[in-house]
Structure 1
Amino acid sequence: MNRNVNYLVKAGVIAAIYVVLVLVFNFSSFGPIQFRVAEALTVLPYFTSAAIPGVFVGCLIANILGGAIIWDVIFGSLATLLAAYLSYKLRKKAWLVPVPPILINTVVVGTLLKLAYGFQDGLIVLMSGVFLGEMVSVYGIGLILLNALRPVSKFIVDKELI
C-alpha cells in the first residue's frame, strides 16, 4: 500500500473511533465534569504519527457533532493537536506519553468551561474536574490500551520507529 494512503487510513480510522467513542459516551464527554473515554486514544502517538491528525480531526468532528460552542471546537481541538504532537515527541518513554493530553486539556478545557461556557464554579474546581477525567481516561484506559496494542504494534508502528 502506498505510504501516504497508509498514513491517511490510519489517521482516518483513529479519527472515526474517537468520534464514535465521544458520541456513544456523550453523557460523560461534555460538561463541567468530563470523562471522555475517547481521550484514551491520545496514547496512540506512541505508535504512529498518524495519530496526531487522527485524534485532532476526531476531536474536531466530535466537538461539532456534540454541540460544543465554536471556542471549544477551535481551542479544544487545537489543545488535542498540541497534546498529540507532544505525546509523539515523548514516545521513547511510554509512561510520559499521557502527560501532555492531561496537562494541556486540564488547562485549556478548564479555562473554556469557565470563560466560554460561563460555569460558575471556580477555575481551579473546573480544571480539577477535567484533570480527574483525563487521569482516568488517559492514564487509566490509555495505558491499558497502549500495553494491549504492543503485541500487535508491528501493524501500526511507523516504519521510522522500528
Structure 2
Amino acid sequence: MNHPEKLRSESVWTTQELTKMALVAALYVAVTFALQPVGYGNIQFRVAEMFNFLALYNKRYVWGVTIGCAIANRASPNGLLDVIVGSVCTFFVLLLCRYLTRKIKDMRIKIAVTTVIFAISMFTVAAQLTILFQAPFLFNWLTIGIGELLSMAIGGIVIYVISKKIDLTA
C-alpha cells in the first residue's frame, strides 16, 4: 500500500513547478493578446516568442510555452487549426532546440541557435496560410520567418539579461 508522503515524492511536478509553468503560459497569452494585431497573419511579430528561450533554462517551460501558445492561438483568425499546428510545432521545436543545444555551454550561443531554428520552423505557419488562403508559400515563409527572427532576437536579449538577475533554471 502506498503512503501519502511516498505518493507526493513520486509526483511528476511540484506545486511550485506547476505554478511556474502556469505563469509562463499566462504571460505568453497576455503578451500575445496585448499585441494581437501583430501576432497573427502572414506578417507577424509575436513578442511572446521570447518565452521560448525559457525552455533552454528548464525543461518544465516546454509545457508552459506550449500551453500558452495553444491558448493564445484560440484567438487566431485561423481557429482550431492554428491551435493544433502552432502548439504541436512549438512543442517539437522546443524539444529540438533543447536537444541540439544540450552540449553548448554558452547561453548566448544557445539563444542564437534557437532563434535561427525557430525562424526556419515558420515553414509550418507558412504552409498553414498557404493551405487556408492559397497564399504564396515562399512569401509567407519569408515574412513570417523574418518576423520570428526579429522577435526572437530581441526576446533573446531580454531573456538573457533577465537570466543574469533571476535564476531561470530553478
- TM-score range (shorter-chain normalised) is 0.7 to 0.9
Could you report, residue by residue, the CA deviation over 1:116-152 in whole angstroms, capped at 9, with x for unpaired residues? x3143x110010011010011112x222123212223
Q: 2 CA distance for matches of 1:9 and 1:119?
A: 41
Aligned position for 2:48: 38
Aligned position for 2:139: 125
Q: 2 CA distance for matches of 1:99 and 1:6?
A: 31
Q: Structure 1's 119 and 24: CA in aligned 2 closer, same or farther, altered over 3 A? A: farther
Matches within 5 A, 1:65-80: 65-80=75-90
Aligned position for 1:114: 130
Q: 2 CA distance for matches of 1:82 and 1:99?
A: 15
Question: How big is the shift at 1:76?
Answer: 1.1
Q: 1 CA distance for matches of 2:163 and 2:30?
A: 23
Runs of 4+ that moved beyond 4 A:
none
Aligned position for 2:64: 54
Considering only CA atoms, is the larger Rg found in Structure 1 or Structure 2?
2
Q: 2 CA distance for matches of 1:44 and 1:29?
A: 20
Single out whichever of 23-32 and 4-13 deviates more from structure 2: 4-13
Q: 2 CA distance for matches of 1:119 and 1:30?
A: 17
RMSD: 1.8
> Does the CA contact (< 8 Å) of 1:15 and 1:57 recur in 2?
yes
Aligned position for 2:5: none
Aligned position for 1:143: 156
Query: Number of matched residues?
Result: 152
Could you report, residue by residue, the CA deviation over 1:36-61 in whole angstroms, capped at 9, with x for unpaired residues? 11111111112111210011000000
Q: 1 CA distance for matches of 2:97 and 2:51?
A: 11
Aligned position for 1:157: 169
Q: 1 CA distance for matches of 2:59 and 2:45?
A: 25
Q: 1 CA distance for matches of 2:68 and 2:125?
A: 16
Which amino acid is 1:157 matched to? T
Aligned position for 2:15: 5
Please point out which of 103, 126, 134 is paired with 2:120: 103
Single out whichever of 22-31 and 5-14 deviates more from structure 2: 5-14
Q: Show structure 1 runs of 5+ residues with no match.
A: none
Q: 1 CA distance for matches of 2:142 and 2:57?
A: 29
- Provide the TM-score with structure 1 as the length reference: 0.85
Q: 2 CA distance for matches of 1:149 and 1:22?
A: 20
Q: Show structure 2 runs of 5+ residues with no match.
A: 1-8
- Provide the TM-score with structure 2 as the length reference: 0.81
